[in-house]
């Protein structure tokens, strides 16, 4: 009986350490490294990457494994105390958990979590085959837990997608920090990349100037009046409308008006204005406007109605926040 109890106790501590460590390693592992290892032909990394993209099954397996470990540990302590203290097993069963608690905490929780925290990818790679075996073993129960989780998501209307995106951004920022520490990236490059990740997925409607706040002038306005308008409102580019202020058809650069030096003439060199859907994300709009060398674009809804105007400065200014702010001057 004592031998069986010791075996069960060691098995319980091992499972507790295994699943606790893997849980910490899973949330600490770099997804970028898993992708790179998977591309190199490492099938274990590919399997871990599938877990990273669909964490519900991993969490369910870990939950079942930890419960099995706790059950085995409790059973082993009860059997061992009964075998050693036959006269008064009740008192022994009360004192045994208190005596074993430091041992279980250190070797079943603290030490494995510390190891996996400091070397997540390496230890996950080594324990991946065994974890896959437990995943297959616990599949019937894990599938039930996965189904309950999905049902709760539908009932509560909550999706883990936003959380995954947030974690992905954090992973990318950690990669940038590691790149700077390794000497691959300059601090300026890291700050620029971090600022871009913060705003890249935002829709352009969040930064564009609403149509009511734009300062257009009519087509055919004299150059002198247009220059005066630009100086008064400090405009580098002047929007132009036709018929009414809501019908903006293009823009003219203030520098072109000054270089022409024809105060009595009317506006020429009108620049066409491209259209950007209000739901288009920040990064795509920036890439398009930079590629086409545009300084102003018209933001529209699905029905073609103009929402506002988007300038290239509104896209570049968020990238120059923090330590990069000096580049504005």
* Distance in Å from the first CA to the final CA of the chain: 79
Could you tell me which residue, 104 or 187, shows the higher pLDDT? 104
Mean pLDDT of 114-122: 87
How many other CB atoms are found less than 10 A from the CB of residue 245?
15
Contact 195, 318 (CB under 8 A): yes
* Category of 108 on φ-ψ map: left (φ > 0), alpha (ψ -120 to 50) or beta: alpha
Written as six digits, the tokens of 130 are 């065994």
Extents of the domains making up the chain: 2-158, 163-199, 204-328
Of residues 131, 111, 93, the one with CA closest to residue 5 = 93
pLDDT at site 329: 45
Helices 111-118/120-137 angle, 10° precision? 120
Q: What are phi and psi of 300, to 5 degrees?
A: -130, 160
Question: Is residue 189's pLDDT more than 70?
Answer: yes
What are the pLDDT digits (tens) for 223-274? Answer: 888 888 988 988 888 889 888 888 888 888 888 888 765 556 777 778 888 8
- Give 327's pLDDT tier (boundaries 50, 70, 90): very low
- Kindly report the pTM of this predicted structure: 0.52
Identify the CATH number of the domain defined by range 204-328.
Answer: 3.10.580.10
87 half-sphere exposure, CB direction, 13 A CA radius: 0
CA dist 37 and 106 (Å) reads 32
Written as six digits, the tokens of 290 are 């930079």
Average per-residue pLDDT for the chain: 79
- Give 18's pLDDT tier (boundaries 50, 70, 90): very high
CA dist 52 and 57 (Å) reads 10
SS (H, E, C) 229-296: HHHHHCCCEEEEECCCCCCEEEEEEHHHHHHHCCCCCECCCCEECCEEECCCEHHHHHHHHHHCCCCE
């Amino acid at each position: 009986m004592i031998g069986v109890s010791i075996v069960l106790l060691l098995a319980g501590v091992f499972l507790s350490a295994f699943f606790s460590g893997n849980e910490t390693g899973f949330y600490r592992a770099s997804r970028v490294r898993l992708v790179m290892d998977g591309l190199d032909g490492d099938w274990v990394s590919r399997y871990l990457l599938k877990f990273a993209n669909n964490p519900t099954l991993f969490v369910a397996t870990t939950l079942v494994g930890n419960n099995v470990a706790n059950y085995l540990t409790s059973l082993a302590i009860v059997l061992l105390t009964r075998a050693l203290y036959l006269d008064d097993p009740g008192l022994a069963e009360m004192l045994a958990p208190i005596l074993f608690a430091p041992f279980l905490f250190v070797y079943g929780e603290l030490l494995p979590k510390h190891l996996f925290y400091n070397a997540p990818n390496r230890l996950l790679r080594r324990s991946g085959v065994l974890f896959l075996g437990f995943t297959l073993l616990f599949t019937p129960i894990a599938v039930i837990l996965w189904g309950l989780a999905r049902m709760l998501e539908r009932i509560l209307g909550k999706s883990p997608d936003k959380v995954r995106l947030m974690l992905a951004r954090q992973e990318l920022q950690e990669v940038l920090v590691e790149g700077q520490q390794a000497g691959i990236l300059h601090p300026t490059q890291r700050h620029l990349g971090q600022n871009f990740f913060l705003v890249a997925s935002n829709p352009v409607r969040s930064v564009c100037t609403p149509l009511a706040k734009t300062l257009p002038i009519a087509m055919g306005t004299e150059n002198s009046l247009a220059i005066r308008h630009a100086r008064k409102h400090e405009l580098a580019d002047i929007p132009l409308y036709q018929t009414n202020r809501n019908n903006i058809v293009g823009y003219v650069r203030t520098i072109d008006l000054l270089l022409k030096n024809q105060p009595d003439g009317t506006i020429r060199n009108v620049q066409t204005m491209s259209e950007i859907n209000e739901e288009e994300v920040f990064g795509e709009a920036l890439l398009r406007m930079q590629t086409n060398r545009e300084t102003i674009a018209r933001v529209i809804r699905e029905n073609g109605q103009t929402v506002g105007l988007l300038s290239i400065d509104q896209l570049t200014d968020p990238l120059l926040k923090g330590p990069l702010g000096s580049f504005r001057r």
